Amino acid sequence: MQGKVEKSGQPRELTRRIIYLLLILAVYRVGVHIPTPGVDTEALQKFFTQFEGTLLGLFDMFSGRALSQFSIFAMGIMPYISASIIIELLTVVWPHLNRLKKEGGQDGRRKLTQYSRYLTVGLSLFQGFMLAVGLERMSIDGSTSVVLTPGLQFRAMTMVTLAAGTCFIMWLGEQITEKGIGNGISLIIFAGIVEGLPSAIGGIFGDVASNEKSVLSMAFLGAGAILVMAGVVFCETAQRRIQVHYAQKLVGRRIQAPRTTHLPLKLNPAGVIPPIFASSLIMFPATLGQFVDIQLLKDFSMRDNWLYNLIYVALIIFFCYFYTGVQFNPSDVAENMKKHGGFVPGIRPGAKTAEYIDKVLTRLTLWGALYVSVICLLPNFIMSYFKVSFYFGGTALLIVVGVALDTISQIQGHLLNQNYDGFLKKGMSAMGRVQPRRRM
């Protein structure tokens, strides 16, 4: 009876976490539709239709269309991501932050998180003020103003409201990570991206129903999308495993037997940061071209332009190498392996091992950067070939698939941990029921 109670109680913890995750995401989606006071949302949405494919359109997609509605969550979680990246980069050049990251342990990580939060507040206030100033200059056809009552009061209210919204989203993400399933910040971005997926699919079916698109072409489009997603899943889970041997050593009074393990290196260790940075830079001329009447900027911003695609790929490759170098230090990995008695077969410990890991990582990063470039460019060619307008680009696809894989792995790990704990409890209870024999 006790085993049945424990078995029935095992999935309850996971169910509670999933329900908590869904409730937090529902709160986030409700906040997306709460408008910031003093803005004509209808005029603003008409204004944003001119910025599809620009930097503002990218930020609008990441915020779940909150920016085009100018809700209290208009800036989304991007200030927190920017602050985290800035702190991560500062750990390379600032010795104090570097010591906190390497030697601080749990307290050091908590301190870095605190610095990221403070920087998030500062960035949110600054970006909120700049958004308010930019909104006051926006108008539709040169007559209809987006802001109803411009002035210092509107700027102060907008700055505080948007900063508070970003901090609230940051808190929601931390609550998901602590009490729910998956990484909270990533899931909030995931929810913002997939929000427009049903309407985009509905638009495609509408084109088929109105005979604007053929059924056969849309079938090929669907099959191509499935193949691309399968390729992304395969590449995101691909690893290059370097074999590592640990020699026999004495730990206390016990002799630890020699063992063999692997050092896993992902095909795309930089994740989605390189395409986000590259998209932000490559879309800046298109954004500037909406405000400045320069034909060169408008021609460059066309996605079928070979120069646009070449620079885009070059930026992705550069940021893949740059961010991988920031995140992964082969010298530190080789030093830790040497301290614990580990070595790569055929490679001397220390500097030679670091050179070998760096060589493998450099080659792997090149293939990973080319894979990311293909995924980011492929949706543009598909949309131009099939003549469809689909906002779900390569960067969004990488984010959605990566977050989904991470969440599924955490769910599987949670179930495995619960089953393991339940197995141990059953084993201990069974041992408790066995009575020792009495000696005569």
Are 116 and 163 in contact by the 8 Å Cβ rule? The answer is no
User: What is the per-residue pLDDT for 248?
Assistant: 66
Closest CA to 98 of 110, 88, 86: 88
Are 368 and 320 in contact by the 8 Å Cβ rule? The answer is yes
CATH number at residue 290: 1.10.3370.10
Q: CA 39 to CA 74: how far, in whole Å? A: 12
Neighbours of 199 (CB within 10 A): 10
Residues 169 and 248 occupy one common structural domain: no
Query: Does 337 fall in a domain?
Result: yes
Are 131 and 162 in contact by the 8 Å Cβ rule? The answer is yes
Query: Does 360 fall in a domain?
Result: yes
Neighbour-count burial for 400-422, b at 16+ CB within 10 Å, e otherwise: bbbbbebbeeeeeebeeebeeee
Neighbouring-strand partners of residue 39:
147
Residues 277 and 320 occupy one common structural domain: yes
Which segments in the chain show pLDDT lower than 70? 1-11, 50-57, 104, 140-144, 248-253, 255-257, 283-305, 383-393, 418-440
Final residue of a structural domain among 142, 169, 195: 195
Domain that holds residue 245: 196-416
Closest CA to 74 of 22, 135, 15, 16: 135
User: What is the per-residue pLDDT for 289?
Assistant: 58
Residue 180: DSSP 8-state: S
Residues 225 and 177 occupy one common structural domain: no
Residues 183 and 202 occupy one common structural domain: no
Final residue of a structural domain among 167, 195, 223: 195
Residues 283 and 327 occupy one common structural domain: yes
Q: What are the DSSP E strand ranges found in 167-315?
A: 239-246, 249-251, 254-256, 259-266
User: What is the per-residue pLDDT for 142?
Assistant: 62
Closest CA to 363 of 227, 257, 232, 267: 267
Are 353 and 337 in contact by the 8 Å Cβ rule? The answer is yes
Residues 387 and 377 occupy one common structural domain: yes
Report the number of distinct structural domains present in the chain. 2
Instruction: Return the structure tokens found at 299.
Output: 């021609």
Residues 146 and 238 occupy one common structural domain: no
Query: Does 57 fall in a domain?
Result: yes
User: What is the per-residue pLDDT for 389?
Assistant: 58
User: What is the per-residue pLDDT for 252?
Assistant: 63
Neighbouring-strand partners of residue 242:
263
User: What is the per-residue pLDDT for 288?
Assistant: 61
User: What is the per-residue pLDDT for 50?
Assistant: 66
Residues 178 and 259 occupy one common structural domain: no
User: What is the per-residue pLDDT for 415?
Assistant: 81
Query: Does 428 fall in a domain?
Result: no
Cβ neighbours of residue 399 closer than 8 Å, sequence gap 6 or more: 186, 189, 190, 193, 272
Q: How would you classify the pairing of strands 144-145 and 254-256?
A: unpaired
Residue identified by tokens 């209809």 is 144
User: What is the per-residue pLDDT for 43?
Assistant: 77
Query: Does 284 fall in a domain?
Result: yes
Query: Does 114 fall in a domain?
Result: yes
Residues 227 and 184 occupy one common structural domain: no
Residues 65 and 86 occupy one common structural domain: yes
User: What is the per-residue pLDDT for 438?
Assistant: 47
Q: CA 370 to CA 360: how far, in whole Å? A: 16
Counting every residue written for the chain, the total comes to 440
Q: CA 152 to CA 132: how far, in whole Å? A: 10
User: What is the per-residue pLDDT for 387?
Assistant: 64
Neighbours of 374 (CB within 10 A): 16
Residue identified by tokens 């790929």 is 313
User: What is the per-residue pLDDT for 6?
Assistant: 43
Query: Does 433 fall in a domain?
Result: no
